Chain A
């Protein structure tokens, strides 16, 4: 863009050179060569006002799923000035939004010529979400170039307030063919100690620290000879507790930014927890080694708690796993069904073993294999043949005996089928 700024310098130099030649040659026609550049400069200066640039952007939705399309409308209004305007609307390169979206229709970069008349243009384009996350629209960047470059390009950006939330793709499983509900009937299985209170009355007992005040039974307290506070006890909701351990080690990034064991693992956690919550389970989430955790609970509110935390999860380069004592205590108290979502390989196996050996319960490990995802990025139309995946039997032998493994190749097997397998395990377990 510096080429245009050479023109004004050229136009400034030419008259003085021509005036010198005119003086040396004593020739009147050289006045033409003196006047011509000067008149161009005068014209350029008269059109040298800085423009008023108004840019606005609107999106058709703020919350969407991965693979959904986002329609964006960009409005460009320019008053004054004479030249070219380059506009770059979101996603701006090197921002998180650029990683999470791809352009499928139209264009987010535009070049507009501003002549004598005002410009009022509308551009529409479509983005496809490829990765979960909370994305800020960030800004619209622009650069204005004067017709002959008599001033430096005007660069600016307009901050945008909006956000777009991209939710991981989930599979809504309406009915599970496997056995999700425990085989034992009431009252043989113990209700969880951590589920929310139901309205089903259980007994009256002495008040202990931590009991909700609303459960105080005033009549029973008045009748009590020792004048001790008495509270009503209610049955807890929820059949059993399921704790999902989501591995966020670096091996969960194997694959592409959009398709890797972590992204598939998050989709699985959401889909599975939705099913379990629907069947009345308490579902909790821990990320290993470090990261967000969600204390087990039931109901749709718990699903949104899980979703909120899962949106922020990133894979980390980690050195080792450390046991969370709260998780350990919870497992001891509630004897939950423990599901570990991981990518079992030579790097992760020793760290997984360290963690599992410390847990006083059985576990079900979902091994998400990234080989087919990787192969499909290299060779289009790679079939779901097992030759792509290395034999994992040996590596599974290194796992503790209290761990069952389900191998999942997300490129070949759907979440629905996997959930059916998991539910069968859970049914036998409970």
Chain B
């Protein structure tokens, strides 16, 4: 599973930038090169997450300065995107890679920690591979559910709630989940 995690953590962060090749080929290739190099450096220093973080920050900056309120206020579009919807949607891939890179870090740490404490290497590999397989499955399920919900949101043309109510519902849901999670983490 180590190779799978490395591949996902290296490849997924560059996918959103492939989407901007038609609009700015040179710039996108430069960005892809830089992001990928960061990933390779991260692999060497055993911190693959730096590629995902770098890619996420870069993607959000590009997104902010190419669409929405900021270009509207400043009347300047720094990177004109041909398909901004696709670019924004692909940011989910960076999130996926963020989790997988953290998982890779944990995986390597466990291997190192338990490899030197008298544990049977095959047993440790088997247990960790099972754990990673299940987490990857849950990530993929979460991705599929997100796409389904998004698809439902797109196809339902009649607005069920106004934007403000939607924001309030999201805020309440988010606060409830995050508070519950943080309480659980602290209480255990």
Q: Which residues of A contact B (CB under 8 A)?
A: 1, 3-8, 10-12, 14-19, 21, 24-45, 48, 50, 82-84, 86, 103, 107-113, 115, 147-148, 150-152, 154
- Of the stretches B25-33, B34-42, B130-138, the one at the interface is B130-138
A82 to B133: give the CA distance in the assembly, Å.
13
Report which residue of B60, B88, B91, B184 has the largest number of chain A beta carbons within 10 angstroms of its beta carbon: B88
Among residues of B, the one whose C-beta sits closest to the C-beta of A50 is: B188
Q: Which residues of B sit under 8 angstroms from A6, Cβ to Cβ?
A: 102
Known contacts A10-B99, A24-B68; A29 and B178 CB within 8 A of each other: no
Q: Which residues of A sit under 8 angstroms from B44, Cβ to Cβ?
A: none
Q: Which residues of A sit under 8 angstroms from B154, Cβ to Cβ?
A: 28
Among residues of B, the one whose C-beta sits closest to the C-beta of A154 is: B188
Size bin of chain B's contact surface: 35 or more
- Asked if B162 CB lies within 8 Å of chain A CBs, one says no
A147 to B133: give the CA distance in the assembly, Å.
11
CB distance from B101 to the nearest CB of A (A): 10
Q: Which residues of A sit under 8 angstroms from B68, Cβ to Cβ?
A: 24-27
CB distance A43 to B141 under 8 Å? yes
Q: State the main secondary structure of chain A at its contact with B.
A: helix
CB distance B174 to A38 under 8 Å? yes
Q: Which residues of B contact A (CB under 8 A)?
A: 60, 63-64, 67-70, 84-86, 88-89, 91-92, 95-96, 98-99, 102-103, 105-106, 109-110, 113-114, 117-120, 123-124, 126-128, 130-131, 134-135, 138-139, 141-143, 145-147, 149-150, 153-154, 170, 173-174, 177-178, 180-182, 184-185, 187-188
CB distance B123 to A110 under 8 Å? yes
A142 to B188: give the CA distance in the assembly, Å.
16
Among residues of B, the one whose C-beta sits closest to the C-beta of A13 is: B178
Q: State the main secondary structure of chain B at its contact with A.
A: helix
Q: Which residues of B sit under 8 angstroms from A50, Cβ to Cβ?
A: 188
CB distance B64 to A36 under 8 Å? no
Among residues of A, the one whose C-beta sits closest to the C-beta of B171 is: A19
A111 to B70: give the CA distance in the assembly, Å.
52
Known contacts A26-B69, A45-B184, A152-B185; A15 and B60 CB within 8 A of each other: no
CB distance A111 to B102 under 8 Å? no
CB distance A107 to B118 under 8 Å? yes
CB distance A27 to B88 under 8 Å? yes
A383 to B70: give the CA distance in the assembly, Å.
86
Sample of 22 A–B contacts (CB below 8 Å)? A3-B102, A4-B102, A6-B102, A10-B98, A10-B102, A14-B98, A16-B174, A18-B91, A24-B68, A27-B63, A36-B96, A36-B142, A36-B146, A38-B174, A45-B177, A50-B188, A108-B118, A109-B119, A110-B123, A113-B128, A150-B185, A152-B188
Report which residue of B86, B143, B177 has the largest number of chain A beta carbons within 10 angstroms of its beta carbon: B177
Known contacts A35-B150, A36-B142; A113 and B177 CB within 8 A of each other: no
CB distance A113 to B64 under 8 Å? no
Q: Which 7 A-B pairs have the closest CB atoms?
A: A151-B188, A25-B68, A29-B89, A3-B106, A29-B88, A39-B142, A113-B127
